[in-house]
């Protein structure tokens, strides 16, 4: 648990995930976390949440983030981001809007929304660049801080 402002806590959490520091990210999350990636089933509790985050940072999978904007109103933090998911050689980037709730210095709710058209475009672009990986630029930490 930290004494960071809610927006700083959310930035730290997502940046730690992107850096592969899952344990550092999970410190920012409450045991009773409610995680919803809209259109997918809601995940409740650290016991179910932590394995998902660990899988996102396994040798064959990865995550990166570029913050476009972050706004807070009290304990509620909104993020507009470009997320990158990596599965083997596939890198797909797409727009995401996230809503976080922070209580007692930990994230209690994380809800992500995304546009399926933009997600599909990112998937197609990622597949097309597999044979030419130099065309698929990485974020290289741009926009994280």
| Residues 43/35, Cβ–Cβ less than 8 Å | yes
Integer Cα distance of 74 and 59 in angstroms: 37
Q: Which candidate in 32, 83, 104, 140 is catalytic?
A: 83
64 is catalytic: no
- Please indicate whether residue 21 is annotated as part of the active site: no
Residues, the chain, total? Answer: 145
Catalytic residue among 112, 115, 118, 140: 112
Non-local (6+) Cβ contacts of 59 within 8 A are none
Which residues are identified as catalytic? 83, 112
């Amino acid at each position: 648990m930290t004494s960071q402002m809610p927006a700083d806590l959310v930035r730290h959490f997502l940046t730690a995930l992107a850096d592969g520091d899952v344990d550092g990210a999970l410190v920012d999350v409450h045991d009773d976390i409610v995680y919803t990636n809209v259109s997918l089933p809601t995940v409740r509790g650290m016991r179910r949440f932590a394995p998902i985050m660990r899988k996102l940072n396994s040798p064959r999978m990865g995550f990166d983030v570029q913050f476009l904007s972050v706004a807070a109103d009290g304990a509620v933090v909104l993020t507009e981001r470009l997320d990158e998911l990596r599965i083997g050689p596939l890198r797909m980037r797409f727009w995401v809007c996230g809503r976080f709730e922070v209580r007692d210095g930990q994230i209690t709710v994380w809800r992500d929304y995304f546009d399926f058209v933009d997600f599909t475009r990112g998937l197609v672009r990622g597949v097309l660049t597999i044979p030419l990986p130099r065309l698929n630029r990485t974020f290289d930490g741009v926009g994280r801080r």
